[in-house]
Amino acid sequence: QFVESDDDEELLFNIPFTGNVKLKGIIVMGEDDSTHPAEMRLFRNIPHMSFDDTAREPEQTFSLNRDPTGELEYPTKIARFSNVYHLSIHFPKNFGAETTKIFYIGLKGEWTEAHRHEVTICNYEASANPADHKLEQITPQTHFIS
């Protein structure tokens, strides 16, 4: 089984994660022919990315070699990919065929649970209610020094 591009050689994968990922490496398997992707561009934390968004500068670009067995791992810049919740992978070109075929994409890294800030329901006082802030009665005393 494989993924094949439709009209041209470009492919775009959007991968949302259920937590935060520190991405350390990627493996891409294709055919041992001209349909194998020749370039890979990585974008992080751009949900719902489209082909129109691929004109922006990627976080990292790789020149790929033909790898039908999945032996090559492409290391990522860990500083740029240390807190990824959505990964977009763009394959802009292949080795000369009209379409691009990909059989496998492997992601290597560490997953941590996402820290989500939820809504907190709080009640704030517009003005203080004296009944809520009872203090012990203080009796002032005056001391005279002679």
**55 secondary structure, DSSP code:** G
**Residues in the chain, overall count:** 146
Token readout for 104 is 């496998």
Q: What is the pLDDT along the chain (146 residues), one digit of tens a residue?
A: 999 998 899 999 999 999 999 999 999 999 999 999 999 999 999 999 999 999 999 999 999 999 999 999 999 999 999 999 999 999 999 999 999 999 999 999 999 987 766 666 666 666 767 777 666 666 666 666 66
Instruction: Indicate the fold that domain 3-113 takes in CATH.
Output: Jelly Rolls (2.60.120)
Q: What is the pTM of this model?
A: 0.77
Cβ neighbours of residue 130 under 8 Å, at least 6 residues apart?
none
Residue 128 has φ and ψ, to the nearest 5°, of -70, 140
- The ranges assigned to domains in the chain are 3-113
